[in-house]
Amino acid sequence: MSPTLLLSKELPNLEYQSTRDRFDSTWEAPLSTLLGLGRAAGADFIEFFLERVNYINCLAEDDRITSIVPRLSSGAGVRVFRGKQDCYVSTNDLSFNGLKAALEKGLSILGLNLPSPQAYIPEINLEMLRDYAVAKGKEYWLAKCSSMKEMGDVLIAANNIINQKASHVQSRRAVYFRDWQEVLVASSDGTFARDIRLTQSVGYNLLCADGANRSSISKRVGSTSNPDFLRAWSYDTDAEEVAESAGKMLYADYVESGNYPIVMANEFGGVIFHEACGHLLETTQIESKVTPFIDKKGEKIAHENLTAWDEGLTDKAFGTLDMDDEGMPVQRTLLIENGILKNFLADRTGSMRTGHPRTGSGRRQSYAFAAASRMRNTYIAGGDYSIDDLFASIDKGIYCKKMGGGSVGATGEFNFAVDEAYLIENGKITKPLKGATLIGEAKDIMNKISMCSRDMGLAPGFCGSVSGSIYVTVGQPHLKVDSITVGGR
Judge whether 162 and 236 are in contact, CB under 8 Å.
no
Per-residue confidence (pLDDT) for residue 349, from 0 to 100: 95
460 & 320 share domain: yes
Structural domain harbouring 357: 258-487
Residue 20 lies in a domain: yes
The three-class DSSP label of residue 351 is: helix
89 & 211 share domain: no
Per-residue confidence (pLDDT) for residue 5, from 0 to 100: 67
Residue 233 lies in a domain: yes
Residue 262 lies in a domain: yes
Per-residue confidence (pLDDT) for residue 440, from 0 to 100: 93
Residue 60 lies in a domain: no
Q: How far is it, in rounded angstroms, from Cα 459 to Cα 267?
A: 5
Provide the CA 107 distance to its chain's centre, in angstroms. 31
The three-class DSSP label of residue 176 is: strand
Residue 206 lies in a domain: yes
Which of 191, 162, 202, 194 has the alpha carbon at shortest distance from 50?
194
Pair type for strands 377-380 and 468-476: parallel
CA dihedral over 189, 190, 191, 192, signed as positive or negative: positive
Q: What is the DSSP string of 443-479?
A: HHHGGGEEEEBS--EEEEEEEEETTEEEEEEEEE--E
Residue 59 lies in a domain: no
Judge whether 228 and 459 are in contact, CB under 8 Å.
no
From 234, 252, 270, the end of a domain falls on: 252
83 & 217 share domain: no
The three-class DSSP label of residue 236 is: helix
Q: What is the largest CA-CA distance in the chain?
A: 84
- State pTM to two decimals: 0.95
284 & 171 share domain: no
Mind listing the pLDDT tens digit for each residue in 16-72? 888 989 999 999 999 999 999 999 999 999 999 999 999 999 999 999 999 999 999
From 229, 252, 275, the end of a domain falls on: 252
208 & 271 share domain: no
115 & 166 share domain: no
288 & 396 share domain: yes
- Per-residue pLDDT of the chain in tens (489 residues, 90 and over written 9): 444 468 888 888 888 888 989 999 999 999 999 999 999 999 999 999 999 999 999 999 999 999 999 999 999 999 999 998 999 999 999 999 999 999 999 999 999 998 988 888 988 999 999 999 999 999 999 999 999 999 999 999 999 999 999 999 999 999 999 999 999 999 999 999 999 999 999 999 999 999 999 999 999 999 999 999 999 999 999 999 999 999 999 999 999 999 999 999 999 999 999 998 999 999 999 999 999 999 999 999 999 999 999 999 999 999 999 999 999 999 999 999 999 999 999 999 999 999 999 999 999 999 999 999 999 999 999 999 999 999 999 999 999 999 988 888 888 899 999 999 999 999 999 999 999 999 999 889 999 999 999 999 999 999 999 999 999 999 999 999 999 999 988
The three-class DSSP label of residue 196 is: strand
Residue 74 lies in a domain: yes
Q: How far is it, in rounded angstroms, from Cα 478 to Cα 449?
A: 10
114 contact partners, CB below 8 Å, separation of at least 6: 8, 37, 41, 104, 107
343 & 319 share domain: yes
Q: What is the DSSP letter of 13?
A: G
Per-residue confidence (pLDDT) for residue 1, from 0 to 100: 41
**Other CB atoms within 10 A of residue 487 CB:** 15
What is the chain's Cα-based Rg? Answer: 25
209 & 149 share domain: yes
**Other CB atoms within 10 A of residue 251 CB:** 12
167 & 227 share domain: yes
Residue 32 lies in a domain: yes
Per-residue confidence (pLDDT) for residue 13, from 0 to 100: 80
448 & 341 share domain: yes
Report the domain count for the chain: 3
108 contact partners, CB below 8 Å, separation of at least 6: none
Per-residue confidence (pLDDT) for residue 409, from 0 to 100: 87
Q: How far is it, in rounded angstroms, from Cα 325 to Cα 27?
A: 17
Q: What is the DSSP letter of 14?
A: -
CATH number, domain with residue 239: 3.30.160
Dihedral over alpha carbons 27, 30, 34, 40 (to 10 degrees):
130
391 & 302 share domain: yes
Per DSSP, what are the bridge partners of residue 485? Answer: 259, 439
Per-residue confidence (pLDDT) for residue 139, from 0 to 100: 96
